[in-house]
Structure 1
Amino acid sequence: MTKILATRPVLPSLDVKVSLKFWEEAFGCKTWLYEDGKFGGVQRDGFEFYYFFTDRKEVCEWTSCRIDVEDVDGFHAMAKAAGCVHPNGDIDTKPWGYREFAVLDPFGVLATFGADLERN
């Protein structure tokens, strides 16, 4: 049987070093930087994604990703402490049984953290 093993989004950033630092400080992620600061990666607990440099702010603001987690309330507490919870994306349980909240990185990329309550 063929099987997808992982996905690794590639997200835009106006300053890759700043974006990586955000994930290190807010969520304790491991990060690395390549290509004279124009490309880097973020990793924690089996999830991984990358940033590439762009000079177009609107590209950042039009980009989003979802991150499924085990302890969504624990991640929400980390995001609150870091001051990065989206003003319209505080934690909430949706009618379809998904508990989630949203954060914005320094350049407007939206990341939604969530947990399927029926699976957890």
Structure 2
Amino acid sequence: MTPPEMHTAIPVLLSLDIPATVGFYTSTLGFTCRYHEEGFAILQRDAIELHFTGCPEQHLVDWSSCRVGVTGIDELYAEYAQRGILHPNSKLHDTHYGTREFGIVDPQGVLITFYERRPNTD
């Protein structure tokens, strides 16, 4: 018998303003809107899918975040640097736990950290 294997996780993030979130992720981050209704949206770029649900409370939105694994972290960083959307406290850096990463905070206050696993250097 083959043990179960998990393949994908889809975060549900919070947004104060779904139309503004859709606009930012499509025009600035390069996502496509797969679905949008009042209070909910599905956004996708390549194999990554993010769901957003409306939330009227800023303090809850500020705690909303996710990590997105990518290939080509340096190129993505350069793409987003040109657009002026990098978080000043999360510039591109290597971590002690084996990733290269950077973060952005969207206009609603959601933190998105983009990371790429580094090859084992031991």
TM-score by length of 2: 0.89
Q: Percent identity?
A: 31
- Kept in 2, the 8 Å contact 1:30–1:42? The answer is yes
- Corresponding residue of 1:21: 23
CA-atom RMSD in angstroms: 1.4
Counterpart residue identity of residue 42, structure 2:
G
- Corresponding residue of 1:85: 86
Q: Output the CA distance in 2 between the equivalents of 1:13 and 1:4.
A: 27
1:24, CA displacement in angstroms?
A: 1.1
Is there any run of 5+ residues in structure 1 with no aligned partner, and where? Answer: none
After TM superposition, the structure 1 stretch with the greater mean CA deviation from structure 2, 11-20 or 76-85, is 76-85
- Corresponding residue of 2:57: 56
1:67-102 Cα deviation digits (max 9, x unpaired): 010011111112212221111001111123210000
Which structure is higher in helix share? 1
1:1-120 → structure 2 map (5 Å cutoff): 1-35=3-37, 37-118=38-119
Q: Output the CA distance in 2 between the equivalents of 1:23 and 1:116.
A: 24
1:34, CA displacement in angstroms?
A: 3.2
- Kept in 2, the 8 Å contact 1:101–1:113? The answer is yes
Larger Rg: 2
